[in-house]
């Protein structure tokens, strides 16, 4: 019986350490993602901002070849919400 509680205590302590480490890393991760710039053969893709909506869903502002796009990214996939068609 004592082994069970000792194992449970080790698991809870490990979980607490992981949660604290995640909370320390997340504030530094968001600015890195917003400054992300991908350069491919066809042109530039710039991530302007990422807005979390709910668990597993984000709004992502992109600039692709000078065209502004708003994309909803969720667990199901990605959908274009708005695309600026003006020249």
The overall average pLDDT reported for the chain is: 82
Q: How much is the pLDDT for 28?
A: 74
Q: Give me the mean pLDDT over the 33-56 stretch.
A: 71
Instruction: Tell me the pTM.
Output: 0.49
pLDDT top residue among 86 and 36: 86
pLDDT top residue among 87 and 9: 9
Residue listed under structure tokens 């068609």: 85
Q: Is the pLDDT score of 76 beyond 90? A: no
Q: How confident is the model at residue 9 (pLDDT cuts 50, 70, 90)?
A: very high
Q: Got the DSSP string for 25-85?
A: HHHHHHHHHHT-EEE-SS-EEEEEEEEEEETTEEEEEEEETTEEEEEEEETTEEEEEEE--
């Amino acid at each position: 019986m004592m082994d069970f509680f000792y194992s449970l205590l080790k698991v809870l302590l490990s979980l607490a350490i992981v949660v604290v480490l995640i909370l320390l890393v997340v504030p530094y991760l968001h600015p890195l993602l917003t400054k992300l710039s991908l350069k491919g053969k066809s042109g530039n893709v710039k991530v302007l901002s990422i807005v979390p909506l709910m668990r597993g869903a984000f709004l992502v502002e992109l600039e692709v070849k000078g065209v502004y796009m708003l994309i909803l990214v969720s667990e199901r996939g990605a959908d274009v919400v708005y695309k600026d068609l003006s020249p």
